[in-house]
A and B are shown apart, each in its own frame.
Chain A
Amino acid sequence: MQKLWVRYAKRGRARFTSHRDFSRAFERALRRAGVPMAYSSGFNPHPRISYANASPTGAATEAEYLEIGLAQPRDPDAVRDALDSALPQGLDVLQVVVATAGSLADGLDVSEWRMSIGGPDAGVTESAVRALLDRDALEVERMTKSGLRTFDARAAIIALWVVDEHTLGLVSRHGVPLVRPDDVLQALGRVEPRFELSQPALLTRLDQGRWNGDRIVGPFDEQA
């Protein structure tokens, strides 16, 4: 069995695809593209696909990773082209490489986000960002399946900056519980009451990988 690592993107209207929607679409695209998938054994065989993590519904992304197992070896670039053309518009396969030792998920500790916001003016956003970065910890709340949960949003933030009047940049660490961009926006509202959004922010994940103290190193960069 040949293992391939795939980096894909959700763009435009496809950003409303949920993780389960994507996995169904991806399995069908594999069949349409004629990729010779390896199947799990057992009563109800499934193609061998493992996702490094789930991408949030409603957020666009440029850096999602998954691993597929092929029954026969194929050229990674040919697989990329075939898959990319078989997937619906907006779901794009960016890169396919032969898997190396280790697991994909281990190399994904940090994400870089762009948050496109409307409402507060530039000055308010600036002061909110400064106020949040000055804190050592800041509790936020989120409704989860098990009820309202309170956790610290500050510790996960590696970097937070104003890109322009309507855009924020964020580098955050994956942890438990996972601090999402929404949580960071909530934290900004807590430290600066004037920071109020007029509509939900549009989120884009730009990159995912390991933090080397200076920048994000993606799982495929390490290979090279």
Chain B
Amino acid sequence: MTDVTTSPESLFARLEPLLARVSKPIQYVGGEVNSVAKSWDSADVRWCLMYPDAYEVGQPNQGIAILYEILNERDWILAERTYSVWPDLAALLREHGLPQFTLDNHRPVGAFDVLGISFSTELGYTNMLAALDLAQIPLHAADRREDDPIVVAGGHAAFNPEPIADFIDAAILGDGEEASLQVSEMIRDWKAEGRPEGRDGLLLRLATSGVAYVPRFYDVTYLPDGRIQKVTPNRPGVPFSVAKHTLMDLDEWPYPKAPLVPLAETVHERYSVEIFRGCTRGCRFCQAGMITRPVRERSIETIGAMVDGGLRSTGLEEVGLLSLSSADHSEIGDVTKELADRYEGSNVSLSLPSTRVDAFNIDLANELSRNGRRSGLTFAPEGGSERMRKVINKMVTEDDLIQTVATAFGNGWRNVKLYFMCGLPTETDEDVLAIADMAARVIETGRQAAGSKDIRCTVSIGGVAEAAHPVPVGRAGVRRDHRPPAAAAAREDPRRPPLRQGHRHALPRRQARCHRGAAEPWGPPRRPGHRGRLPRRRHVRRLERALQLRPLGRLLRVRLGRHRRRPRLVHDPGARLHRGAAVGSPGLRARPRLAVGGLAGRARRVARRGLPLDAVLRLRRVPADGHRDPDRPDGAPPAAADAGEPLTPTTAHFANSLGIRANSSRV
């Protein structure tokens, strides 16, 4: 943040000879269609937006695309992009003393006012550190000088930014459209006033106005067992609770209008329109569904206009109707029909990336495949057994699924993909084995409906990644000797990558702080992305090293492993103390038995677009003794159901979900 108005020199001339020596150099050159090259001096506030993964993963990200357009539309703001650099180029950059650079004009990241990093998953945390290091920005926020950029985290995995609290200056919770402009205005004013009180002055403005959560203005104390006792502001005017930003009218913000069209190959090459934001289905494992409430829909007119403009400006051939559960849009039938009518006869194809079995119907599928391609259908029952699905509140009955699949096979589809999770709370081996039974039934039904043996059912099983907001994690119960039926192809190692993800969010900030030596041997993560094929112990060690972690040691007898194994609650104080998600509903109470019990209910969703307003975030005060239930009034006795003989969580949860008393002989 220098006041020097001369533009930093483009690094491209020094970069060019290095690019000839690395893999996929095209990912570093920028200059994509629809990219913006603004002059440095014309802007008052300069953002560097980063998606902390390789270009091929980061470029299609919607969040960055939206902010890139919104910020660059203002003539006083400039926004450029940067992504994780693969190790081959990173080594060359270090060797030649070159810093992390932006793609648009190849400027050093350290020259910008703000480095905004969008975290879709916790896996990006270590890539952020690698980028900061490569950018020659001090890793710890406390060490940064006045001319270093303000490091701001955003996105879903920044909703609980405690694991990276020492490395970021601020976190934006919730939707970034308006918040990014508010941050820009504050920086502009602060710069115009001559930077009163330096870096802290700006951060204090961000914190007191409630725009951002600034970790350094909060003190955290701990209980002897390592749980967080309380989180308190340490400056006057800093709010106890920070609200998330919620954009209420998506029609006023029809972004991205003209997303970048990459030259390099990327993971998604389609024009995506977010048809609504939020979801009220309340599946227990789903962080996104919890933190993006309420549901806000885009109108059919806006969707139509965005698709038209987006295809024109990009030349793409596929349209993705994006949301957490796309078939739940109140006008989804009309949306797909009108789009299918409009593009009939052309080569434009439509896709609904996330559909629920119970919301899906064959008319919808027929609209989506009018051009004749019936490649495959994907459903995510998530749990193998009915009981498991009740526990996670994903109310899809097996008969629903079988019926849908039978109709699909009867209508010409030949391939169905089913997504499941294992490691869900209260899971037993029977629940996991039920996945195989379900796949077998799908195949059997499919063969009958199709009248042919030539059908396929692909089963993907992922491990639950513990997230800060939804349900607790239990132990996975996969029986190793089990083999899926022959026609079902199982994919993916069930647990490794998500476990890594779970670790990161679960670390309180103290662990990130407890060892910070100047001579700490710190190496950047070797591999951006989430191709987690490493042995578990190695990646845990690497994560510790990357986050400069040490297990808390003998003094507190808390180790990383123990921390991870502790059953975590929906309202674990360590997870969501001073940042409330907009889950004001009774669907998710703090009491663990309710959270995992047979609470499965219907989605609360008002017809059409007049959905319940985002609950005003409740201030959650935590008493000094650090109880686990922020919803319960201070000092109130535990609820009756909690009293009595202590049970092991599994028995209790299991019993509860069956609707029987825990001490019954049936357990």
Contacts and interface: CB of A to CB of B under 8 A. Distances in A.
Interface in B302-339: 311-317
Given A28-B316, A86-B315, A200-B20, 10 more contacts: A14-B263, A16-B19, A16-B25, A16-B26, A21-B264, A25-B33, A32-B33, A32-B315, A43-B373, A202-B20
Given A25-B263, A31-B317, A45-B347, A13 B29 contact: yes
A31 B12 CA distance: 31
A31 B357 CA distance: 35
B30 to A, nearest CB: 7
Closest 10 pairs (CB-CB, A-B): A28-B315, A31-B315, A32-B315, A13-B29, A16-B25, A200-B20, A16-B26, A199-B17, A21-B263, A89-B31
B454 interface: no
Given A25-B261, A86-B315, A14 B31 contact: yes
Interface string B266-298: 000100000000000000000000000000000
Contact of B263 (A27, A45, A88): A88
Interface string A82-101: 00001111100000000000
Contacts of B264: 21
Interface centre among B19, B29, B32, B311 (most CB of A within 10 A): B29
Nearest to B37: A89
B430 interface: no
Q: Chain B: interface residue count, which band?
A: 20 to 34
Interface string A196-220: 0001101000000000000000000
A202 B16 CA distance: 9
B347 A39 contact: yes
A182 B21 CA distance: 13
Interface in A24-56: 24-25, 27-32, 39, 43-45
Given A32-B314, A45-B347, A88-B32, A58 B25 contact: yes
Contacts of A43: 372-373
A150 interface: no
Interface of chain B, main secondary structure = loop
A43 B33 CA distance: 30
B265 interface: yes
A29 B317 CA distance: 12
Interface string B116-160: 000000000000000000000000000000000000000000000
A86 B313 CA distance: 10
Contacts of A13: 12, 16, 29-31
Contacts of A16: 19, 25-26, 28-29
A72 interface: no
A200 B261 CA distance: 29
A18 B20 CA distance: 12
A125 interface: no
Contacts of A31: 311, 315-317
A149 interface: no
A199 B316 CA distance: 38
Contacts of B28: 16
B347 A32 contact: no
A17 interface: yes
A20 interface: yes
Contacts of B25: 16, 57-58
Given A32-B312, A45-B347, A200 B29 contact: no
Contacts of B33: 25, 28-29, 32, 86-88
Contacts of A25: 33, 261, 263
B265 to A, nearest CB: 7
A28 B347 contact: no
Contact of A20 (B265, B315, B317, B373): B265
Contacts of B265: 20-21, 24
